[in-house]
Structure 1
Amino acid sequence: MTSPFSLAGKVALVTGSTRGIGLAIAKAFVAAGARVVISSEDSRDTARVAAELGQPGIACDVTDDVALAALVDNALAALGGLDILVCNAGVTGRAGPFASINMADFDRVMGLNLRSQVVLANLALPHIAARGGGAAILMASISALRGNGAINAYALSKAGVAQLARNLAVEWGPRNVRVNAIAPGFIATELSRTLLEDEAFMAHRMAMTPLRRPGTPEEIAGAAQFLASDAGAFVTGQTLVVDGGTVITDGS
């Protein structure tokens, strides 16, 4: 009997898939039987990871609409179709309150984190529907779910991503395309190393997390595999929180 978590025979495109969460998702999908297009804006990283995983690699700056169209076209040419889209590429931007926000940075964060997902979804979802249906997974954040005095444009963009997943789920559900978002909590990656080494921050943050530890990229990848596979076949328009319980606790 085939596992409901199998992705055998499926074709996936994962942006930002050369490190961290995106790389973990790509590896999990390959292990589950999928062919995966590896993509990041760095052509060398893209080629290196693609070679390591034995998958096609296509470099792409997701803020460039022409490059996004070429990404989808080249993915289709390389693997013959598309069943799964994972919009993982993103940037944190400058920390601080909205009162002192740099609007150029605001535009950069919103363009990369939110606008690019709108454009890529519009390019990719028709092809997923043409194959009989499939899944799209958008990367949100728990910062989209609560207030924060220091995470400005990033949190706003991720709230937009969660709403985008809901809207696209309504729009594409009749064509058997499911769209969901994942909202990770604090995840141990190379990008979070500075915070992981900050004892005061970690003590405070882990006291706010019932599981008392950061998550791993592989744990986010497991959630993505669930949403992409038949195991999640009746789940759409949701934001799946994977945060060790951070957003449900009062810190006690």
Structure 2
Amino acid sequence: MSYLPANLHYSLHVHRMFSLTRLLSVGRSINHFRMASAAATGSRRLEGKVAVVTASTEGIGYAIAKRLGEEGAHVVISSRKQAHVDHALKTLKEANLSVSGLVCHVGKQADRAKLIETAVKENGGLDILVSNAAANPHFGNILDCDEQAWDKIFDINVKSTFLLVKESVPHMVSRGGGSIVVVSSIAGYMPFELLGPYSVSKTALLGLTKALTPQLSDMNIRVNCVAPGLVKTKFSSALLSSEESTKLALSGIPMKRAGTPDEISGIVSFLASDDASYITGENILVAGGAPSRL
């Protein structure tokens, strides 16, 4: 029990509150300084690196290319259409980023070879590969998918990813190592009913990442996979086209919102950098807490 005068109690209380507020303020300032310092030191962590990003003129691929460029890499972008390449190059160069680009249909061996060879010839090597290209010509029940659509999905989504990796590895080895990031999808964990073949192809990428890890580790090449959830892109626009469909799409996401391409690009940039030097063979979900399980 205290016998101090009431006014002294009040003075001590005010002093304690002021001290606590000041301490919290200082703490926030220190934390802000640390975050700013981390951002400053990490902003050019890909300086001197050469990166190839497929399907990178819009959506997630474009955001990845932009982020890698902002962190110091020279980025070689690609798309199936020259007009898309030209438009993306214009906007990226206006942002003072070091970029180049060319047409590449990843399903064509000649296009893949030209993409990799051009990146190496013009920039001296290759350090980072981001395989982002994907196709989905079928929408509906899985048993209604015809053979032609099935083959296209697996040729573009899985086979071309494997071949791009295979074609890139010798150039990374000559640089002493590298980093590969494969873009899958939460559909690889929880298949979408009307996107069955697409979902299965994305599951295959999770397995491909694991299968590549032992041999690539011996070459000092890391390989990881990013599986985005619902992200605001042209691909997901139908799911977010109305208030009703948006509500339904978000119902299984604890964060109650769709992601943005920039939120995927940050993870990819991290995995491509030396900050992730002890991370390989991982499949990383970026899905706002949406449930996922194989």
Query: TM-score, normalization: structure 2?
Result: 0.81
**Secondary structure of 2:235's aligned partner:** helix
Moved more, 90-99 or 181-190: 90-99
Aligned AA (2:73): A
Query: What is aligned with 2:286?
Result: 242
Distance change (3 Å), C-alpha of 1:125 and 1:192: same
Whether contact under 8 Å (1:86, 1:136) holds in the other structure is yes
Moved more, 96-105 or 12-21: 96-105
Find the partner of 2:69 among 18, 21, 30.
Answer: 30
Rounded to whole Å, the distance in 2 between the matches of 1:161 and 1:93 is 18
Rounded to whole Å, the distance in 2 between the matches of 1:52 and 1:150 is 35
**Secondary structure of 1:37's aligned partner:** strand
Rounded to whole Å, the distance in 2 between the matches of 1:166 and 1:93 is 27
Q: CA deviation at 1:227?
A: 0.5
1:17-166 to structure 2, matched below 5 A, reads 17-54=56-93, 55-166=99-210
Query: What is aligned with 2:269?
Result: 225
Q: CA deviation at 1:248?
A: 5.1
Aligned AA (1:216): T
Aligned AA (1:82): L
**Secondary structure of 1:168's aligned partner:** helix
Asked if 1:187 is matched to 2:193, the reply is: no
Cα offsets for 1:6-34 (capped at 9, x unmatched) = 11111100000000000000000011011
**Secondary structure of 2:236's aligned partner:** helix
Rounded to whole Å, the distance in 1 between the matches of 2:128 and 2:190 is 29
Q: CA RMSD in A?
A: 1.7
Cα offsets for 1:122-155 (capped at 9, x unmatched) = 0002211211111000111111112442221111
Rounded to whole Å, the distance in 2 between the matches of 1:228 and 1:238 is 13
Moved more, 207-216 or 139-148: 139-148
Rounded to whole Å, the distance in 1 between the matches of 2:170 and 2:209 is 15
Q: CA deviation at 1:4?
A: 8.5
Q: Runs of at least 4 residues of structure 1 off by over 6 A? A: none
Moved more, 21-30 or 47-56: 47-56
Q: CA deviation at 1:221?
A: 0.2
Rounded to whole Å, the distance in 2 between the matches of 1:194 and 1:182 is 23
Q: CA deviation at 1:57?
A: 0.8
Query: TM-score, normalization: structure 1?
Result: 0.94
Rounded to whole Å, the distance in 1 between the matches of 2:166 and 2:133 is 16
**Secondary structure of 1:190's aligned partner:** coil
**Which consecutive unaligned segments of at least 5 residues does structure 2 have?**
1-36, 94-98
**Secondary structure of 1:214's aligned partner:** coil
Rounded to whole Å, the distance in 2 between the matches of 1:145 and 1:202 is 21
Moved more, 75-84 or 211-220: 75-84
Q: Which has the larger radius of gyration?
A: 2
Higher relative contact order (CA 8 A, sep 6+): 1
Rounded to whole Å, the distance in 1 between the matches of 2:285 and 2:187 is 11
Rounded to whole Å, the distance in 2 between the matches of 1:85 and 1:147 is 26
Q: CA deviation at 1:5?
A: 7.2
Aligned AA (1:233): S
Q: CA deviation at 1:215?
A: 0.3
Asked if 1:208 is matched to 2:271, the reply is: no
Rounded to whole Å, the distance in 2 between the matches of 1:56 and 1:88 is 17
**Which consecutive unaligned segments of at least 5 residues does structure 1 have?**
none
Seq. identity, %: 35
